Amino acid sequence: MNSEKTKIAVLGGTGNIGKGMILRLALQNLMEDGVKNEVVIGSRTPETAQEAAKEALEELENCGFDTSDIKITGESNTEAAKEADLIVLTIRFGHVPSLLESIREDLENKIIISPVVPMVKAGPIFEYRPPEEGSAAQAIQARVPESTKVVAAFHNVAARKLQDIVKCKAVHDSIICSDDEEAKKTVMKLTENMGCLKPLDGGPLSNANTVEALTPLLINIAKLNGLKDLGINFS
């Protein structure tokens, strides 16, 4: 992957987590040591993705950022995956298998980042419901080519904090798991430059189930205690 210019596709990028991810990734172009990249928003229809790209650029401009060196475009999920060097899956777990099947031939030698959490509403709370592979990340690994590098990251991040690119400078820890050390280093660098997250090496992909399970726990704690936008910090 060319470290000078990385094309990053955020599939399902019109959702809350996707929107924040797009803004944070785009802003890295303005950092002296940031990863220079192009962000491609993927959605079920290219028109929806293109509108989201327009809105993201307008949001950056309204916040006072110079967007002359920032490129955000929109495509269908399949076209975005085809163009990308690195792919972020910001979709519900139930949609993962069909999406991966449709883009499988375009995943060779690419990095896939999974913030996907398989959880369901059970009465007043959410429950973690991992697939038989053990975690969403491992289920993704089982459905992609052998050359695809799967990295589990960004699970325990509040969407509103990701989207608040002006005020949110507070750092939460982001645990990153992968069986590929070089891919893990690439994602840790991206994470470090997002401005609100500190990357921590979480070990192999088999540890992803523990990290994924923390997301419904945080949501439940917030709801039961009248809190908002919780994150994780280790000290």
Total number of domains in the chain = 1
* Cβ atoms within 10 Å, residue 122: 10
In a domain, 233, yes or no: no
Quick check: is 230 in a domain? no
pLDDT at 200 over 70: yes
CATH code, domain carrying 32: 3.40.50.720
- Domain extent for 168: 6-225
**What are the distances in angstroms from CA 37 to CA 7, 24, 28?**
5, 11, 8
Residue 1 lies in a domain: no
Considering the domain boundaries, does residue 33 fall inside one?
A: yes
Residue 122 within a domain: yes
With respect to residue 209, please indicate whether it lies within any of the assigned structural domains: yes
pLDDT digits (tens, 9 = 90+) for 9-67: 999 999 888 999 999 999 888 776 656 789 999 999 999 999 999 999 999 999 999 99
On whether residue 162 sits in a domain, the answer given is: yes
Q: What is the pLDDT of residues 141-184, one digit of tens each?
A: 999 999 999 999 999 988 888 888 876 666 899 999 999 999 99
* Structure confidence at residue 203 (pLDDT): 98
> What does the DSSP assignment read for 61-115?
HHTT---TT--EEEEEHHHHHHH-SEEEE-S-GGGHHHHHHHHGGG-TT-EEEE-
Q: What percent of the chain has pLDDT over 70?
A: 95
Please report the pLDDT score of residue 1 as a whole number. 45
Q: Is the pLDDT of residue 232 over 70?
A: yes
Average pLDDT over residues 127-148: 98
Radius of gyration over alpha carbons of the chain, in Å? 17
pLDDT average, residue stretch 185-202: 92
- The answer to whether position 116 is within a domain reads yes
